[in-house]
Structure 1
């Protein structure tokens, strides 16, 4: 049985802890980094012993801060081993302290414009092992991404999903998977090769930060067209969100990992919005 809460309930449970100065973001980031490490270990055999490479898509909200602090921790381990943590700031602002911490640990900042170009993304994204989707969190109502967030997701989708879900091609995605042009096929969405003549390798594992960006957090709704990155793993904080267990949003969440940030007793005093078997 899984109990799930609305975004408003989660915020209400967090409120006294934030007012008390508890480091909820750091707790969330530590749990997120642990899941990334697990994913990297599971895929280590496909990397020929090289250190992992992680891409952070960072939006303006708190989940962007979660991703950045996780990136700080991971960069301290991976960069000295020859790995990489790349930060793509998407949105009008990012969490300044978390960004500074990530860069001080060895992460590098990249230009968002390059990640809005599908041809560029097709050539460079497969070099990464993990993509952290920290674009939009519990503030999303399923109405859809906008601005650079939308542009980046549209450019990334063909690589991570094997087809452009956002133009109503979900059947094409299934066909691509069956024909060997999906997530692990080792080719570009067009069946060609990466820039500079290098063949595109397996797509990175997508880890959603709290929720897959763009889903309706309280109802699992998808925007129309459904520009949402399908996650292999969603790392959610404090309690399950309704959109992770119901509706088409749940189908984009992949395996859901719940990280305890210390608000469980507060949520236990609230009736869950949804209970699923």
Structure 2
């Protein structure tokens, strides 16, 4: 049985802890980093022993801060071994303290414009082992991503789903992005961005594992709704904090969540005093 709560209920449960100065974001980030480590270990056989490479897609909200603090922890381990943590900030603002911490640990801030170009993304994204989707969190109502968040997701979708590109895809648009959004399914590891052999005839690389931070960005957190078109990155793993959100267990959004891992950040007793919005078998 899974109990799930609305975004408003989660915020109410968090409120006294935040007012007391408890480090909820750090707790969330530590749990997120542990899951990323597990994902990297599971895929180590396909990396020939090289250190992991992680891409952080970071929005303006708290889940962007969660991703950045997790990136700080991971960068301290991976960068000295020759790995990488790349940050792409797509919001109108960024969690400044978390960004500073990640950069001080060895993460690198990349230009968002390059990650809005599907042709560029197809060439560089398969070299990463994990992609953290920290674009939009519990503030999403399923109405869809906007601005650079939407542009980046449209460029990334063909790589992680294996949809064939259409005319104009080099600008992040076209039949490839539309087909990828509609499918919502991951392509098999070991295929090229177009789902076949590498364009140069060489060895192909698997797409990175997608790890959603709290919820897959763009789903309706309280009902699992998808935008139209459904531009949402399908996650292999969703790392959610404090309690399950309704959108992770109901509606088409639940199918984008992959395996859901719940991280205890200390609000469980508060949620237990609230009736869950949904209970599923």
- TM-score normalised to structure 1 length: 0.92
Alpha-carbon distance change, 219 to 116 in structure 1, aligned in 2, over 3 angstroms: same
CA distance in 2, matches of 1:146, 1:84: 28
CA distance in 2, matches of 1:150, 1:122: 17
Q: Please say if residues 157 and 177 of structure 2, whose CA atoms lie closer than 8 Å, have aligned partners that are also in contact.
A: no
Shift, 1:19, TM fit? 0.3
Shift, 1:7, TM fit? 0.1
Alpha-carbon distance change, 243 to 182 in structure 1, aligned in 2, over 3 angstroms: closer
2:39 alignment partner, SS class: helix
Q: Please say if residues 5 and 277 of structure 2, whose CA atoms lie closer than 8 Å, have aligned partners that are also in contact.
A: yes
Q: Please say if residues 3 and 278 of structure 2, whose CA atoms lie closer than 8 Å, have aligned partners that are also in contact.
A: yes
CA distance in 2, matches of 1:162, 1:267: 39
Q: Please say if residues 141 and 218 of structure 1, whose CA atoms lie closer than 8 Å, have aligned partners that are also in contact.
A: yes
Q: Give the alignment's Cα RMSD to 1 decimal.
A: 3.5
CA distance in 2, matches of 1:81, 1:115: 25
C-alpha deviations, 1:64-101, integer Å up to 9, x for none? 00000000000000000000000000111110000000
Q: Please say if residues 162 and 173 of structure 1, whose CA atoms lie closer than 8 Å, have aligned partners that are also in contact.
A: no
Alpha-carbon distance change, 197 to 119 in structure 1, aligned in 2, over 3 angstroms: farther
1:196 alignment partner, SS class: coil
C-alpha deviations, 1:42-67, integer Å up to 9, x for none? 11111000000000000000000000
Alpha-carbon distance change, 171 to 43 in structure 1, aligned in 2, over 3 angstroms: same
Count of residue pairs the alignment pairs up: 277
Give unpaired runs (5+ residues) of structure 1: none
CA distance in 1, matches of 2:120, 2:216: 23
Q: Please say if residues 118 and 172 of structure 2, whose CA atoms lie closer than 8 Å, have aligned partners that are also in contact.
A: no
CA distance in 2, matches of 1:168, 1:245: 30
Q: Please say if residues 154 and 164 of structure 1, whose CA atoms lie closer than 8 Å, have aligned partners that are also in contact.
A: no
- TM-score normalised to structure 2 length: 0.91
Alpha-carbon distance change, 121 to 198 in structure 1, aligned in 2, over 3 angstroms: farther
Q: Please say if residues 89 and 112 of structure 1, whose CA atoms lie closer than 8 Å, have aligned partners that are also in contact.
A: yes
2:144 alignment partner, SS class: coil
Alpha-carbon distance change, 146 to 64 in structure 1, aligned in 2, over 3 angstroms: same
